[in-house]
Structure formats: C-alpha cells, structure tokens
C-alpha cells in the first residue's frame, strides 16, 4: 500500500478572518432569554452568595475599519445589581476579548475589566462568556453597593454569558417583506 501526501493550499487570506474574534461591522443585540448573568460574593476561597441578575438589554456596535473601537453596553436590573456597564476600550487576542470600562451604579462609575471568551462567531452571531472580579470593599466605598450584612465578602464576581445576533438581518427581512407587500399591492390594483 502506498501513501500519497498532497500539498495543502490554505484558503486566501481574505476568507480567513480568524485574527479578529469580532463579527463584521454592524449592530448586534441580545434577544430576551439568550443570556445569563450571575453575581457571586466570595470570602476567601468560599462563595457566600450567588444570585442571578436580569440582563435588561445588551448591545455591541462594531464600527467599520479604522473609524472607532467596538463598543459593548450591558444593562443589568433587579435587586441584586441595578447597573450599566459600558466599554471604553476593547482589545482582542487569541479568541478572547478584554473590555475595560465603567460599571455605573447609581451615577457612580467603577472601573471594570471584563474578560470574555468567544465561544462561537459567525457573520451574524457572537456567543461570549466572561467574568470580572471586583474587590468588594472598594466597590462598596466607591458606589455604595452593599451585600446583605450576613454575607461577608472580599470580592464579587460578575459572570456574563450572552448571544449577540445581528440587527441588520431583521432590518433586511423587514425591508424585503415591505417590498413584496408593496409589489403585490401594486400588481393587484
């Protein structure tokens, strides 16, 4: 039996957009029920409190090349955490995104570093999972955020999992539907 080794030819560089974990330029949002947010209080190595947080809305704006930086915006609601996280800087490397921004609690911004792992990326979808560790004492002093008094904590972990889908696909479908309806109406009259 003979083994033949064929040379492999890689696809052209323009078809390999593996360098950027971000999807193509456009606006992406998270549909209701396509996210998970959790707040966990830790005292040393022990978790003392774990609560789900409702994600009211989330958006990702990916600008065209060279114009601006991508921008993430998360709005959390509920008793456990009512805040807004807006990214100021996004760095991408090795299939990961690192968001530096402010967590706005009652009008006070607290600096946050959210590290996201890109689980899946297509032209109209971005699935990310990530965490941010916040020192509880500094967070409490700066923003007034408090955990229940019976739950000691040295740090708070914010876990975010979200599936961003392209808004442009919905806009295109709505435009096509309105065009077809207009054509049918024009033909019937």
Q: What is the residue-level pLDDT of the chain in tens, covering all 189 positions?
A: 555 555 555 444 444 445 578 888 899 999 988 999 999 999 999 999 999 999 999 999 988 876 678 899 999 988 878 899 999 899 887 889 999 999 998 888 999 999 999 999 988 999 999 999 999 999 999 988 888 889 899 999 999 999 999 985 445 444 444 454 455 445 555
The pTM of the full predicted model, rounded to 2 decimals, is: 0.75
128: left (phi over 0), alpha (psi -120 to 50) or beta: beta
Q: H or E element: which one contains 186?
A: helix 167-188
Whole-number Å distance between alpha carbons of 98 and 92: 6
Name residues whose C-beta falls within 8 Å of residue 22's C-beta, 6 or more positions apart in sequence: 62, 70, 90, 92, 97, 121, 126
Q: What pLDDT does residue 41 have?
A: 94
């Amino acid at each position: 039996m003979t083994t033949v080794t064929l040379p492999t030819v890689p696809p052209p560089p323009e078809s390999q957009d593996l360098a950027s974990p971000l999807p193509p330029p456009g606006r992406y949002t998270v549909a209701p029920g396509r996210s998970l947010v959790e707040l966990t209080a830790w005292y040393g190595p022990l978790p003392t409190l774990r609560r789900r947080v409702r994600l009211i809305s989330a958006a990702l704006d990916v600008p065209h090349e060279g114009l601006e930086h991508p921008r993430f915006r998360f709005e959390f609601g509920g008793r456990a955490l009512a805040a807004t996280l807006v990214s100021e800087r996004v760095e991408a490397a090795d299939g990961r995104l690192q968001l530096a921004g402010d967590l706005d609690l009652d009008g006070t911004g607290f600096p946050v570093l959210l590290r996201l792992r890109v689980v899946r990326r297509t032209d109209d979808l971005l699935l990310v999972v990530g965490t941010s560790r916040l020192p509880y004492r500094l967070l409490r002093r700066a923003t007034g955020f408090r955990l229940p008094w019976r739950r000691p904590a040295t740090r708070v972990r914010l876990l975010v999992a979200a599936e961003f889908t392209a808004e442009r696909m919905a806009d295109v479908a709505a435009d096509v539907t309105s065009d077809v309806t207009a054509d049918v109406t024009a033909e019937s009259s």
